[in-house]
């Protein structure tokens, strides 16, 4: 769905902001 969209580092205005940001969590969100 997202193709090969993989940002090296997430932009600043992201909700997770590194706090609750997790590669696995993000992958699940994109998967759903």
Give the pLDDT mean for 21-31. Answer: 75
pLDDT band at 21 (very low <50, low <70, confident <90, very high): low
Tell me, what DSSP letter sits at residue 8?
A: S
Give the pLDDT mean for 8-24. Answer: 62
2-32: b (≥16 Cβ within 10 Å) or e: eeeeeeeeeeeeeeeeeeeeeeeeeeeeeee
pLDDT band at 17 (very low <50, low <70, confident <90, very high): low
pLDDT at position 14, please?
A: 59
Which run of H or of E encompasses 23?
helix 23-31
Interior CA angle at 11 toward 23 and 9, to 5°? 45
Structure tokens at 18: 């590194």
């Amino acid at each position: 769905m997202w193709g090969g969209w993989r940002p090296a580092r997430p932009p600043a205005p992201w909700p997770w902001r590194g706090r609750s940001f997790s590669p696995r969590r993000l992958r699940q969100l994109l998967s759903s």
